Amino acid sequence: MSPAHYVEHDVTFALLNTVGDEERRGRFVHDFINLWETRSQRLMKALGSGDWEDADVVCLSIRSSSTMLGAWPLEAIAGMVHSAVKAEDLVASMAHLARLHEVGARTCEELLMLLETMRREGATP
């Protein structure tokens, strides 16, 4: 994985090659991209209202799907937020949110480029 990458491509390719038939292979990646903003907003709402349980669920969702995709930087930052959420530490949770949103957006951009590259090369995701 190059330092400029947000996603370990080999991990993403492995996931795409083991999930469903050719028609559904890219669905997990597309769903991750399409749900990113919703997850981000849900996390902010949960933290804003002190709903630690929902914040915990959102962090777990981000962490598990990031791991499946090989999005290690996003998983690491989500892990920091998750640790703060588990401690019900609003200040620490909020301290990492801007970076979480930035890395999440960059991860989605890279995933879109990866899918586009695969399409151009004839490897249907």
Report yes or no: 82 and 59 within 8 Å, Cβ to Cβ. yes
Q: What is the largest CA-CA distance in the chain?
A: 47
pLDDT in tens, 74-85: 999 999 999 999
Specify the pLDDT at position 124.
52
Give how far the C-alpha of residue 105 lies from the chain's centroid of Cα atoms, to the nearest Å.
9
Residues in Cβ contact with 67 at an 8 Å cutoff, skipping those fewer than 6 apart: 75
> 92-123 pLDDT, tens per residue?
999 999 999 999 999 999 999 988 887 787 65
pLDDT band at 1 (very low <50, low <70, confident <90, very high): very low
β strands within 6-88, DSSP E? none
Q: For the domain 9-119, what is the CATH code? A: 1.20.120
The SS3 assignment for 105 reads helix
Q: Where are the domains of the chain?
A: 9-119
